[in-house]
Chains A and B, each alone.
Chain A
Amino acid sequence: MTIKEIIEVTGAQLICGESNIDNIIEFAFSSDLMSDVLTQDSDQVLLITGLSNLQTIRTAEMADINYILIVRGKAISNDMIRLAEENHISLLQSDLSMFHISGLLYAQDLKPIF
């Protein structure tokens, strides 16, 4: 799926990282625990998370994750956007719950990493 298709399916809003909009994403991982994200070997996945702080972006940077969808309508700070832009990370935001977003995307083409 492309970011564009993810936006169409979930109604999420693109906060930054427009240049990635046509990139193809195959896998997704849902977690609020960054320690869990850091134990995954896969990269180039969509991270679906309700944790919205600088460490969310830092974790993605270290784990080579370029796409983050913040769920449950959590606020995204300007510092987060700045850091995401610096690292060419696309940030998306949705008011839906993690389960809802995961279900919508699972029903499409996105695969779990395990």
Chain B
Amino acid sequence: MMRTNYNVEGGDFTKAGNVASCVKKTLKQLNVNAKIIKRVVIALYEAEVNIVAHAYQGHVTIDIDDQYITMLLKDKGPGIEDIDLAMTQGFSTASAKVREMGFGAGMGLPNIKKNVDELTLESEINIGITLCLKVKLTE
């Protein structure tokens, strides 16, 4: 198994996507099917943007084994008050700054869910969020 760790700074849009970009390169080197790579990196990129947009700080752990990629994203931040509402397409609490970056339309979490095989989301108000995403790498 291969494990890599990354830090994500809240509010720093210049680096949003760096983790997904690294993971994309790794999966390409491992000759994973391009359609599966796209699902993984879109979910991861959306999740990374969520940390940058909403949290103060985040930590991402990527585990890759023969069959699965597991992406654990833990952030320190406000958390999510109503998870069901946050999973609803079109609901957003994003700031004007986030919207200027082309996000904040309330499509992130639903799109993450669409692209992964397993999703668990735990939230503690004013502490942060733990999001775990799993995608099968083999067809």
Contact = CB atoms under 8 A, between A and B. Distances in A.
B87 to A, nearest CB: 14
B13 interface: yes
A108 interface: no
A36 B111 CA distance: 10
B38 A43 contact: yes
A15 B108 CA distance: 30
B42 interface: yes
B34 A35 contact: no
A35 B42 CA distance: 10
A62 B102 contact: no
Contacts of A23: none
A62 B24 contact: yes
Interface of B: 13-14, 16-17, 20-21, 24, 34, 38, 41-42, 45-46, 49, 100-105, 107-108, 111, 114
A97 B45 CA distance: 29
Interface residues of A, number: 20
A51 B103 CA distance: 11
A53 B101 contact: yes
Nearest to A56: B102
B42 A38 contact: yes
Contacts, number: 65
Given A35-B108, A54-B17, A63-B38, 10 more contacts: A32-B102, A35-B105, A35-B107, A51-B102, A55-B102, A56-B102, A58-B20, A62-B20, A62-B42, A79-B14
A79 B16 CA distance: 13
A32 B101 CA distance: 9
- The interface residues of chain B, by DSSP majority, are classed as helix
A42 to B, nearest CB: 10
Contact of B17 (A36, A43, A62, A64): A62
Nearest to B45: A62
Nearest to A59: B102
Interface string A13-35: 00000000000000000001111
A55 B101 contact: yes
A35 B21 contact: no
A31 B96 CA distance: 18
Contact of A63 (B42, B104, B107, B108): B42
Given A35-B102, A53-B101, A58 B42 contact: no
B133 to A, nearest CB: 14
